[in-house]
Chains A and B, each alone.
Chain A
Amino acid sequence: MFRIALKMLLGDRGKYFGIITGIALASLLMIQQPGILISIFSRTYSFISDVALPDIWVMDPMVKYVDDSQPMLDTELYRVRGVKGVEWAVPLYKGNQRVRLGDGQLVSSNLIGLDDATLIGGPAVMLKGRLADLRLPDAVIVDEAGATGRLAKPASPGKKTEPLQVGDILEINDKRARVVGIARAGATFQSQPIIYTTYTRATTYALSERKLLSYILVKAKAGEPLANVTERIRHDTGMAARSADEFKDMTFLYILNNTSILTNFGFVVIVGFIVGAAVTGQIFYNFTLDNLRYFAVFKAMGATDRMLRRMILLQALLVGFVGFGLGAGATAVFAAITRERPGLSMTLNWQLLLGSSIAVAVIVLFAALISVRKVLKLEPAVVFK
């Protein structure tokens, strides 16, 4: 009987492809759009993820999210070092500075100043050069996206821009900077080029400000609960201390509350679900209606309701599986292609895959449900009409 059910489904090729296309498109929308959304959101705190070593970020209490650095006094670093439960603490400068390219173009870039001695907070993946080269005079490391994108060497007329290479010279606030390395960094929300240098050099590159310490990166002593350490830092220094996860959440929520990204993408996902459900349900119901005669014959031949229900369910699950498989495969290829690239990218994780498969299951079960209702109400005599 199941063979017949499958034959029935595959025999009507037009409807078969129609249903599959509907489900594939719905699952494509439902995986890709949230995937891009997740990717964009993870960019809001990608800098915190990149600086993976410290557990705690100490900042001015007025800081709202990671790009909103409110500098502190340099001596706060030593105050934090004196707090109980702090294994080590290093300074970090993060700010926007204007970089002048060879042709005089000014590009606003994110300047990161790492602790001179340890270079904690540096990029994990160095494509060219070594992180320790930052100790050379005037040395900076540029992120891959910046080097190939906005900071690329200006073109001579009629030629394409060339990516920044090790040894090239930039100008940051009228001061010389030499590129000693290219690193891969997580793309940022504002997608500005990231320039790494040492803390001391960053303070000379930065326009003269009285306070320059953006963040203090802290590692808690092993076995010391993070919450206790952050509490102590807050109490002893009056600074805000947040664990890396808390800081990520805070940044994420700030972007969520202050942009309409979630609404836009969420709307597309819901439309995808509704359209998918409507199209699939509609075509599947039509398909069942077309094949009503056969179901009537089965009924006349003595097929039980249970058997009919199972047949329809099998048909629904098959189109669901094929449609979802194609949609998921297509988005997976898209995700794999865009993964290592700057610019648009999407994140495909198992939660997303599971969620969308549940959504597709809901769609096909809904389609199966309305068809089953029709078939069960069917009088076997209809076949003779």
Chain B
Amino acid sequence: MKLKNRILPGLAALGLIVAIIVAVQAERRPPPAQPVAQPAQAPFKSYIGGAGLVEASSNNIDIGTGVAGIVQKVLVKVGEHVAIGTPLFQIDDRDFRAALLVKQANVVKARAAVEEAKATLEDARSQYALVSSAGDQRAVSLDDVQKRRNAELLAKARLESAHAAVTAAEADVKSTQIEIERLTVRAPIDGEIMQVNIRPGEFAQAGVLTTPLIKMGNLDQLYVRVNIDENDAWRFKPQTAAAASLRGNRELKTPLSFVRVEPYVTPKQSLTGASTERVDTRVLQVLYSFPRNALPAFVGQQMDVFIETPEIAPVAPAATQSGGVTR
């Protein structure tokens, strides 16, 4: 066979080889994308899963103020440990201090009035003594004696009244001092400052605020508030084992100890973290605790929680035509 007769079969053989190579390559699949972190895994055989939110064991306390006003001084920093009664921040107290000055002056005035009353009484007493000690009743008129006695009685009453006025003025001063004291907001418990949302010069409103002025709590023991879907709530048994793992690294996990069940089933809130929470369903909230040094967890962080449940008898597949699944 001549060379030129071999060209076409040669080309054909080449084509076939290329086709086989391409076909073999088509069989290869790209490796699946590996997860950035391993997803949370349950350490139990039978369990319920829930979303947990870390909170302080004292609950997260949103500190408020009873008196609205401009903030003068903030005395704590975020992260600071404070003892009970430590001043946290001060509201501007100048108007109360001004009133205090007036009231303190009033005390002085009232005290002066006491001295004055005392002098008057002394005078009245001596005037009366002059006539009452006279041996001869004819030397003075009865009218004069009575007048002077009454004057003494009146002066005595005036002195008592002046004393009362001093007490009242002093009480007034004390009341203003207490008002001033109220302008310093103090820590209600021993704990840690988690948020400070107020700075000197800002207006602190009284009442319940969406952003608390200061958020604090006791962080020695952290709590996890676990939301369990109401459909799964019947499976929950208190006092069973539970474990939580941090999002992003499932190796960071800790056993939890049961604290309490919130007996009221609330609308779900903590799942998406979005500013506009959409109410999906209602959830049973269960509180668990773990020591703070068990995990590098922060208050407000989400956790994946698994709670052990007693094994339920498997249901026969024949009875499972629920959900309209026909495949």
Q: Which residue numbers of A lie inside 8 Å of B, CB to CB? A: 3, 6, 10, 20, 31, 49-53, 61-62, 73-82, 84, 86-90, 115-125, 131-132, 135, 200, 203-204, 208, 210-211, 219, 231-232, 234-235, 237-242, 246, 250, 318, 321-333, 335-336, 339, 347-350, 352-353
B18: which A residues are within 8 A, CB to CB? Answer: 328-329, 332-333, 336
Q: Is the CB of A231 within 8 A of B39?
A: no
A327 to B12, CA, bound (A): 8
B138 at the interface (CB under 8 A from A): no
Q: Is the CB of A348 within 8 A of B26?
A: yes
Q: Is the CB of B30 within 8 A of A82?
A: no
Taking A239-B323, A325-B13 as given, write out 14 further A-B residue pairs in contact, using a Cβ cutoff of 8 Å, ordered by the A residue number: A50-B33, A73-B281, A75-B283, A78-B48, A79-B229, A116-B247, A118-B38, A118-B39, A119-B36, A119-B37, A241-B325, A321-B9, A322-B8, A325-B11
* Given contacts A75-B271, A210-B278, A124 and B39 within 8 Å (CB-CB): no
A87: which B residues are within 8 A, CB to CB? Answer: 41
Q: Is the CB of A75 within 8 A of B280?
A: yes
* Given contacts A53-B33, A75-B271, A238-B323, A331 and B19 within 8 Å (CB-CB): yes
B15: which A residues are within 8 A, CB to CB? Answer: 325-330, 332
The size of the chain B interface, using a CB distance under 8 A, is: 71
Q: Is the CB of A81 within 8 A of B49?
A: yes
* Given contacts A79-B229, A211-B280, A117 and B12 within 8 Å (CB-CB): no
B268 at the interface (CB under 8 A from A): yes
B272 at the interface (CB under 8 A from A): yes
A332 to B32, CA, bound (A): 26
B223 at the interface (CB under 8 A from A): no
* Given contacts A117-B247, A117-B248, A125-B30, A82 and B23 within 8 Å (CB-CB): no
User: Chain A at the B interface: mostly helix, strand, loop or mixed?
Assistant: helix
B24: which A residues are within 8 A, CB to CB? Answer: 350
* Whole-angstrom distance between the Cβ of B321 and the nearest chain A Cβ: 9
A15 to B110, CA, bound (A): 136
Q: Is the CB of A200 within 8 A of B323?
A: no
A329: which B residues are within 8 A, CB to CB? Answer: 11-12, 14-16, 18-19
Complex partner residue of A231 from B13, B49, B229, B320, CB under 8 angstroms: B320
Complex partner residue of A203 from B21, B35, B274, B320, CB under 8 angstroms: B274
Among B31, B42, B276, max chain A CB count under 10 A is at B42
A204: which B residues are within 8 A, CB to CB? Answer: 274
B5 at the interface (CB under 8 A from A): yes
A208 to B309, CA, bound (A): 36
B142 at the interface (CB under 8 A from A): no
Question: What 7 pairs across the A-B complex have the smallest Cβ distances?
Answer: A329-B15, A325-B12, A81-B49, A52-B32, A88-B39, A328-B19, A332-B19
A115: which B residues are within 8 A, CB to CB? Answer: 39
Among B231, B248, B268, B281, max chain A CB count under 10 A is at B231
Among A115, A232, A328, max chain B CB count under 10 A is at A328
* Whole-angstrom distance between the Cβ of B127 and the nearest chain A Cβ: 91
A210 to B280, CA, bound (A): 7
A295 to B50, CA, bound (A): 86
A350 to B26, CA, bound (A): 9
Among B19, B23, B29, max chain A CB count under 10 A is at B19
Q: Is the CB of B12 within 8 A of A240?
A: no
A204 to B317, CA, bound (A): 39
Complex partner residue of A52 from B12, B33, B47, CB under 8 angstroms: B33
B134 at the interface (CB under 8 A from A): no
Complex partner residue of A53 from B32, B50, B317, CB under 8 angstroms: B32
A118: which B residues are within 8 A, CB to CB? Answer: 35-39
Among residues of B, the one whose C-beta sits closest to the C-beta of A231 is: B317
A61 to B320, CA, bound (A): 14
B304: which A residues are within 8 A, CB to CB? Answer: 81
Q: Is the CB of A82 within 8 A of B49?
A: yes
B88 at the interface (CB under 8 A from A): no
* Whole-angstrom distance between the Cβ of A16 and the nearest chain B Cβ: 8
Q: Is the CB of B323 within 8 A of A353?
A: no
Among residues of A, the one whose C-beta sits closest to the C-beta of B268 is: A75
A76: which B residues are within 8 A, CB to CB? Answer: 229
Instruction: List 27 A–B pairs whose Cβ atoms lie within 8 Å, in order of A's numbering.
Output: A49-B29, A52-B29, A52-B31, A52-B32, A62-B324, A78-B232, A81-B42, A82-B49, A119-B35, A124-B33, A131-B36, A135-B36, A210-B280, A211-B280, A219-B39, A235-B319, A237-B323, A321-B16, A322-B8, A324-B16, A325-B14, A326-B8, A329-B15, A347-B26, A348-B26, A349-B26, A350-B20
Q: Is the CB of B16 within 8 A of A240?
A: no
A121: which B residues are within 8 A, CB to CB? Answer: 33
* Whole-angstrom distance between the Cβ of B41 and the nearest chain A Cβ: 6
B156 at the interface (CB under 8 A from A): no
* Given contacts A124-B33, A235-B320, A329-B12, A73 and B327 within 8 Å (CB-CB): no
A331: which B residues are within 8 A, CB to CB? Answer: 19
Complex partner residue of B22 from A79, A250, A336, CB under 8 angstroms: A336
Among residues of B, the one whose C-beta sits closest to the C-beta of A90 is: B39
A125: which B residues are within 8 A, CB to CB? Answer: 30
Among residues of B, the one whose C-beta sits closest to the C-beta of A10 is: B5
